[in-house]
């Protein structure tokens, strides 16, 4: 009983440490003046809300642009990293450890170094200052996360079920979609959520490759944070956090519904 009590107490403490700072951000979003030693703001306002809903500022368009980029990056990265993780996790080949190390290169090498070199190549290829270039750059820096997660999963994945299905006459497509995919659903949720968050929060890479023409939510939010406008910075932060949480929750729920659907497992 004591262990359960301490566990619940620790869990509540962690939740409180994550939730309580959000209240401060919410208060800052509607406060004109909040100086020490006042416990609450001395002056309130809705300038941040008016700014967000003003059509001239194109907040909704920028948000939609961010979501589109992050979703495409998530899809492309999952398509690449699922088979890559399967190959690294289940098969033995010469130079496997070297490939594993190279797959982490975008994390080991400073992102500014990688981005500067790729930016030169993108200029030559005509991908600079375009959404496609930003998507490719985000995909590149997201690959290590997906590869690592799926590699770890497939290292402990028992492929005897797949082999049994093949022996019973199932085709590769049937084995992959009816057996492998449902079993790796938790890894897809974990990798997809992490990849989406990494892409959605990119600022420097988007600014460099997009050249200031491809606008995303961090591109608008970061300048307000740097300028010290806490009111607008808090408002955009709340929009950023709430969007991320809602999208990740929807992604997880939709994936679970797909795998619970009986028709999904029909061959």
Q: What's the confidence (pLDDT) of residue 260?
A: 62
| Percent of the chain residues past pLDDT 90, beyond the cut | 15
Same domain, 176 and 95: yes
Angle between helices 131-156 and 96-103 (to 10 degrees): 140
Residue 144 and residue 107 in contact, taking contact as beta carbons nearer than 8 Å = yes
The pLDDT of residue 261 is above 70 = no
Whether 50 is in a domain gets the answer no
Per-residue model confidence (pLDDT) at position 78: 93
Whether 140 and 30 map to the same domain: the answer is no
CATH value at residue 71? 1.10.3720.10
Is 21 a member of any domain?
yes
Residue 239 pairs in a beta bridge with none
Residues 4, 63, single domain; the answer is no
Residue whose C-alpha is closest to residue 189's, from 120, 104, 127, 259:
259
Question: Is there a single domain that holds both residue 65 and residue 32?
Answer: no
Q: Are residues 40 and 74 in the same domain?
A: no
Q: Please give the residue that has the higher pLDDT: either 202 or 164.
A: 202
Residues 29-45 have pLDDT tens digits of 888 777 777 777 778 88
Same domain, 219 and 239: yes
The pLDDT tens digits for 136-189 are 999 999 999 999 889 888 888 777 777 777 777 778 777 777 777 778 888 888
**Strands 43-44 and 31-33, bridge-based pairing:** antiparallel
What tens digit of pLDDT does each residue of 76-118 get?
999 999 988 888 888 888 888 888 888 887 777 777 788 888 8
Q: What is the pLDDT, as a whole number, of residue 29?
A: 85
Predicted confidence at residue 117, as pLDDT, reads: 83
Q: Which residue has the tokens 């909704």?
A: 60
The answer to whether residue 248 scores a pLDDT higher than 70 is: yes
Whether 218 is covered by a domain: the verdict is yes
Mean of the per-residue pLDDT values of the chain:
83
What b-and-e string marks burial along 169-185, b requiring 16 or more CB atoms within 10 Å of the CB?
A: ebeeeebbebbbeeebe
Query: Is 70 exceeded by the pLDDT of residue 267?
Result: no
Write down the pLDDT at residue 62: 92
Q: Same domain, yes or no, for 79 and 117?
A: yes
- For range 234-249, the mean pLDDT: 86
User: Which residue range forms the structural domain that includes residue 229?
Assistant: 56-265
Give domain status of residue 205, yes or no.
yes
pLDDT tens digit sequence for 51-71: 888 888 888 899 999 999 999
pTM: 0.83
How many distinct structural domains can be found in the chain? 2
Write down the pLDDT at residue 135.
94
Q: Assess whether pLDDT exceeds 60 at residue 214.
A: yes
**In the predicted structure, residue 262 carries a pLDDT above the cut 60:** no
Any domain includes 203:
yes
């Amino acid at each position: 009983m004591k262990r359960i009590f301490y566990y619940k107490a620790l869990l509540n403490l962690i939740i409180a440490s994550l939730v309580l700072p959000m209240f401060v951000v919410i208060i800052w979003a509607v406060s004109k003046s909040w100086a020490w030693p006042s416990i609450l703001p001395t002056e309130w306002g809705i300038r941040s809300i008016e700014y967000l809903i003003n059509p001239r500022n194109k907040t909704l368009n920028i948000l939609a642009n961010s979501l589109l980029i992050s979703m495409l990056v998530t899809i492309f990265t999952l398509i690449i990293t699922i088979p890559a993780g399967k190959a690294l996790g289940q098969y033995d080949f010469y130079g496997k450890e070297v490939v594993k190390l190279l797959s982490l290169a975008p994390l080991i090498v400073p992102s500014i170094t990688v981005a500067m070199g790729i930016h030169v190549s993108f200029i030559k290829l005509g991908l600079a200052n375009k959404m496609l270039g930003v998507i490719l750059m985000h995909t590149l820096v997201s690959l290590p996360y997906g590869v690592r997660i799926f590699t770890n999963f497939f290292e402990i994945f028992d492929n005897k079920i797949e082999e049994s299905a093949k022996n019973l006459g199932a085709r590769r497509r049937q084995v992959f979609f009816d057996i492998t995919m449902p079993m790796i659903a938790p890894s897809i949720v974990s990798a997809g959520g992490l990849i989406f968050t990494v892409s959605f929060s990119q600022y420097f890479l988007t600014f460099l490759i997009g050249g200031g023409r491809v606008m995303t939510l961090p591109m608008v939010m970061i300048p307000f944070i740097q300028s010290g406008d806490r009111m607008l910075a808090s408002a955009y932060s709340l929009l950023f956090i709430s969007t991320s949480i809602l999208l990740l929750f929807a992604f997880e729920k939709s994936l679970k519904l797909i795998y619970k659907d009986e028709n999904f497992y029909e061959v």
